[in-house]
């Protein structure tokens, strides 16, 4: 009898061992830029196993100067992207049904940084100046701001001359531009690292100028949202990602180190990533839930472009709380 019982136990154990583990749900995230502390929460969530715990197999695809997240998701290369709302809304109006499903960043980090020696003291002094601007969808907040100021961007005497800025601070350092676009957590630090001091500069934060738009939200398509299985996976993804962001805020130096481990370019430095993480933490919200008032203000800014607004009408269905409501 004992041998029969043992044999039965052996069969049960064999059956348990042979049973396949449930496959993790794949999620592909496309970042807006290269691996850096701007995206620390996602790298931390992957490194710490938060995605694994949520039953997810997450692939994080870095961006770059030739990568447009909207195009990647339109081509089926990602399930969710990190994007700025102006670019997402512009793409939506052109036919790509992007939807904001979460908004980890509550504040904008975008600034215009000018040399004080140019005589610029306020936006009223921009007329006739040369301003560096990023394109590939990043120009929309700037264009809306200039429109609000009544300044043309065609280089005429009554407007401003726009320099298509690369993703560096060279135009300011080499005095090719009076002002350049900077992020609080990135290029501004590069300007300081290059030897300029805060007292040498005049900084205009978009938040302070009333033209801030939402940045670094998470976006997917209406088709993905309509798939119950994929929507459930995205809810788990958002929850695990915010756990990663919470850890990154509490352990900024460790988070910067994790980002460096994922930098395939070799261009990032520990000091700069620590600086970036400290500044990014100031922009994060207390949750991933979108502030609808902030979204509506973004729409207002983008539609304030006079005869040439970034978007021509208020979007419908451009954001949803479905995913953050499902997230635990």
Task: Read off the CATH number of the domain in which 309 is found.
Answer: 3.40.190.10
One domain for residues 225 and 308: yes
pLDDT of residue 156: 81
Whether 236 maps to a domain, the answer reads: yes
Whether 9 maps to a domain, the answer reads: no
280 CA to centre of own chain: 11
Rounded CA separation 321/292 (Å): 10
Domain that holds residue 279: 25-106+214-326
Rounded CA separation 158/139 (Å): 20
One domain for residues 37 and 54: yes
Q: Single out the residue in 168, 184, 205 at which a domain terminates.
A: 205
The pTM for the full model equals 0.90
pLDDT of residue 137: 75
pLDDT of residue 21: 55
Rounded CA separation 328/312 (Å): 36
Whether 11 maps to a domain, the answer reads: no
Q: Single out the residue in 156, 183, 205 at which a domain terminates.
A: 205
Tens of each residue's pLDDT in the chain, 328 residues: 444 444 444 444 444 444 445 789 999 999 999 999 999 999 999 999 999 999 999 999 999 888 999 999 999 999 999 999 999 999 999 999 999 999 999 999 999 999 999 999 999 999 999 999 998 778 888 988 998 899 999 888 889 999 999 888 999 999 999 999 999 999 999 999 999 999 999 999 999 999 999 999 999 999 999 999 999 999 999 999 999 999 999 999 999 999 999 998 888 999 999 999 999 999 999 999 999 999 999 999 998 866 678 889 999 999 999 999 999 7
Whether 75 maps to a domain, the answer reads: yes
pLDDT of residue 304: 80
pLDDT of residue 11: 40
One domain for residues 49 and 94: yes
Whether 5 maps to a domain, the answer reads: no
One domain for residues 81 and 132: no
How many domains would you assign to the chain? 2
One domain for residues 102 and 120: no
E runs forming strands in the chain: 25-30, 56-61, 80-83, 98-102, 110-115, 130-133, 161-164, 179-183, 201-205, 217-221
The DSSP bridge pattern shows strands 25-30 and 56-61 to be: parallel
């Amino acid at each position: 009898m004992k041998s029969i019982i043992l044999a039965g136990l052996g069969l049960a154990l064999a059956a348990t061992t042979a049973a396949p583990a449930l496959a993790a749900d794949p999620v592909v995230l496309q970042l807006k830029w290269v691996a850096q502390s701007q995206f620390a929460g996602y790298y931390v969530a992957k490194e710490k196993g938060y995605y694994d715990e949520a039953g997810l197999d997450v692939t994080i695809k870095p961006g770059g100067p030739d990568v447009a997240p909207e195009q990647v998701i339109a081509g089926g290369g990602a399930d969710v992207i990190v994007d700025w709302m102006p670019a997402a809304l512009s793409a939506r109006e052109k036919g790509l049904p992007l939807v904001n499903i979460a908004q980890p960043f509550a504040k904008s980090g975008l600034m215009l940084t000018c040399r004080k020696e140019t005589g610029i003291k306020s936006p009223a002094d921009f007329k006739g100046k040369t301003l560096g601007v990023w394109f590939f969808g990043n120009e929309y907040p700037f264009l809306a701001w200039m429109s609000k100021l009544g300044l043309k961007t065609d280089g005429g005497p009554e407007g401003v001359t726009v320099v298509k800025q690369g993703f560096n601070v060279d135009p300011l350092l080499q005095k090719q531009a009076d002002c350049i676009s900077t992020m609080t957590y990135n290029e501004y630090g590069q300007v300081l690292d290059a030897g300029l001091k805060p007292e040498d500069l005049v900084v205009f934060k978009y938040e302070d100028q009333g033209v801030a738009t939402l940045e670094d939200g998470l976006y997917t398509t209406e088709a993905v949202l309509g798939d119950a299985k994929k929507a459930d996976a995205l809810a788990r993804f958002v929850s695990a990602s915010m756990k990663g962001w919470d850890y990154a805020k509490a352990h900024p130096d460790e988070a910067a180190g994790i980002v460096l481990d994922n930098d395939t370019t070799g261009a990032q430095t520990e000091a700069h990533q620590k600086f970036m993480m400290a500044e990014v933490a100031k922009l994060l919200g207390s949750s991933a839930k979108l502030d609808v008032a902030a979204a509506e203000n973004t729409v207002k800014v983008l539609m304030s472009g006079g005869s040439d607004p970034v978007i021509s009408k208020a979007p419908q269905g451009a954001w949803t709380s479905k995913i953050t409501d499902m997230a635990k």
